[in-house]
Chains A and B, each alone.
Chain A
């Protein structure tokens, strides 16, 4: 079936450290996106990244669609980066449902 898997499942960092989160998707997934769910449960869209690389401040993302993976880079991490990071995409030609990855739980310690 369609799978979107993320690694690592959880990660603890000291403030200021860098990290790379990975998303592997098992079949043709369109419109790959990254989300951050903060400790209060709110889901924030970070990147729309079907292919290529984008940067937004300390965050950047790269998707290699032909190899079916995406990476989210967090540099100089801050405590406010804590939460769960999800990747998600639409499968094939269907745009009615986002398929979410399993998530990476990130804790940034001061």
Chain B
């Protein structure tokens, strides 16, 4: 089954305690991306990766890091989380080519609360 798997799904953490949200896909997709969703602001892209070792900033990259050492994994790292990073996070993946209608797949979301 085609899947994008995120972990953890739910997390409450404290300010400043480093955390990593993992993302793994089993479809051999080149493209992966992270979004955050906030009330009134919709979904905004944090980082994306077009292939292994290729990453770039999205609209709201401050406070986040990513890495793409393997094709299947794209972890999101919060080095020093702050309360304004409390959000619902989504990982997504798809094939590199979009114009032929390749579907984008989203993970189930990770609810993160920073206190």
Task: Report which A residues bind B (CB closer than 8 A).
Answer: 30-31, 33, 35, 41-45, 48, 50, 86, 88, 90, 95-98, 100-103
Contacts and interface: CB of A to CB of B under 8 A. Distances in A.
Given A43-B106, A103-B42, A97 B58 contact: yes
A45 B105 contact: yes
Contacts of B99: 30-31, 95
Contact of B43 (A86, A90, A95): A86
- Looking at chain B's contact residues, is the secondary structure mostly helix, strand, loop, or mixed? strand
Contacts of B48: 96-97
Contacts, number: 54
Interface residues of B, number: 24
Interface of B: 31, 33, 35, 42-43, 45, 48, 50, 56, 58-59, 88, 90, 92, 98-99, 101, 103-106, 108-109, 111
Given A86-B43, A98-B45, A102-B42, A43 B109 contact: yes
